[in-house]
Structures are given as structure tokens and as C-alpha cells.
Chain A
């Protein structure tokens, strides 16, 4: 990654979008606003993946998170509220203990991460990763790949079984 001014501006704007949207997820008064905050947080993380040279992962993030998981969560919001209950208030409890824990975790992590001396080698130029990832998945990671497919099948059947209406 060349460290030009453009890259810095891009990084800081995407990081700002991500963190501000995550903030919206936590502090929004309405669940719908939380879901939209999550949408922009996913977009921001996908943009950060692009800055890290992970093009395939950025596309996967868009398709699976934005197109799949977020729609699923919106369905969850809509199905668990009565339709006339339009305000969809999101209540908060234990606000200050939770804020203290979250701030403490963030300060701890940030101090450790900023003080550590990471081993950083010379970076290669960003190259397309899709073909390499496909090759790795079909050769070195074939067993985890198959296990993941079994896991998805189990989740599919299990989710359908849990929400099924009992017959009597």
C-alpha cells in the first residue's frame, strides 16, 4: 500500500464511517436506525478490506453480510414486533456499567496495540486474491471447506426445525 495522502484520507474517512455507524448501532433509539447503522458499518469494513488489498473478501462481505445477514436481522426486527407497534423503541439497561466495561476494554486494547512492536515486513504490492484463495480452498483447506459446508447444512435444517410450528 503506498502511503500517499489519498490513501490516508480514504482510510480515515472509512474508519470514521465504520466507527460512527457502530456507534449508531449501540445508541440509536429505534431498532430500524440500529439496522441501518449496521449496514453502514458493514460497508465501512468492506472498504477497509479493499484498502488492505483483500478484494475477494470485500465482495464476500457485501454479498453475505449486507445481502444476507442484514436482511435476516431486518426480518427479525419486523417479525418480532406487532405491525401497529410502529415506534420500535430499543430500550437500554445497565447503561453506565456497560459503558464503563466497553470503554475499559477499548482503552486496554488500544494501549496494548499501540505500544506493541509488530513485526512488519516489506509489503508486496496488492494483487488480485480471488484465484489464490480458490486454489488454497481447493487444496490446503479442503477439509475445513467441507466441514463448513456441513455446518451450513446443519444450521439450515436446525433453524427451520426451531421455528417450525408444532402440529398440535
Chain B
């Protein structure tokens, strides 16, 4: 039978792939994609707990606010990536080392 832990394991897999994308990818846009995966896994957890453990909709409301924050984060993050591209002519994260001593 499909229980709470099934959904939690799927969400843990999504989270690990998101971490992998953030750590291993050089392209800043690809790192943003990994962040979206991480936020999605958190949302899946919230909805699963709201369905199986609590008997109200609080988890789903919280997931809606996470989606709002994810949208704001994507917009501002892409703006930063675009201005980084304008200055460095590249979105390779290794090139953004101006502050490195």
C-alpha cells in the first residue's frame, strides 16, 4: 500500500538530485534549476504530511507560500544571472571570483 513514507522517499530523491545540481553544475541557470527541485521536494513533503498526519489544510497553505517564494526567487535569481552575464560575458560560476582574495 502507498503510505506516507513512499512520498517522503520520492521527495528525498528529488532533494538529493537538487543538491547534486547545485554542487556539480557550472552554469548558474542550471544551479537555479537545482534550487527549484529542492523547493519542490520540500513542497511534496508538506503536502504529504498534510494529507497523512494532520487533518487540515495547513500544509497545503504553507506549500502555496513556498511556491510564491520560489517564483520571487526565480525572478530575482535570473535578474542577477543576466547582470552577471552582462559584466563577465559568461554564466560560469567559476568566473565570478572578483571578491576572492
- Could you tell me which A residues sit within 8 Å of B by CB distance? 1, 3, 7-8, 11, 15, 18-19, 22-23, 25-26, 31, 34-35, 38, 41-42, 45, 48-49, 51-54, 56-57, 60-61, 64-65, 68-69, 72-73, 75-77, 79-80, 90-95, 97-99, 101-103, 105-106, 109-110, 113-114, 116, 118-121, 123-124, 129, 132-133, 136-137, 141, 144, 148, 151-152, 154-156, 158-160, 162-163
Contact = CB atoms under 8 A, between A and B. Distances in A.
Given A53-B51, A80-B91, A98-B19, 8 more contacts: A11-B6, A52-B7, A68-B71, A73-B32, A129-B60, A155-B72, A159-B76, A159-B79
Given A48-B7, A69-B71, A151-B69, A92 B76 contact: no
Interface of B (DSSP majority class): helix
Interface of A (DSSP majority class): helix
A35 B33 contact: yes
Contacts of A94: 23-24
B67 A60 contact: yes
Contact of B16 (A1, A102, A144): A102
Contacts of A163: 79, 82-83
Nearest to B17: A22
B96 interface: no
A91 B61 contact: no
* Interface size range on B against A: 35 or more
Nearest to B92: A91
- 5 nearest CB pairs, A to B: A98-B23, A155-B72, A98-B24, A106-B16, A102-B20
Nearest to A75: B78
A99 B58 CA distance: 35
A8 B2 contact: yes
Contact of B13 (A22, A79, A95): A22
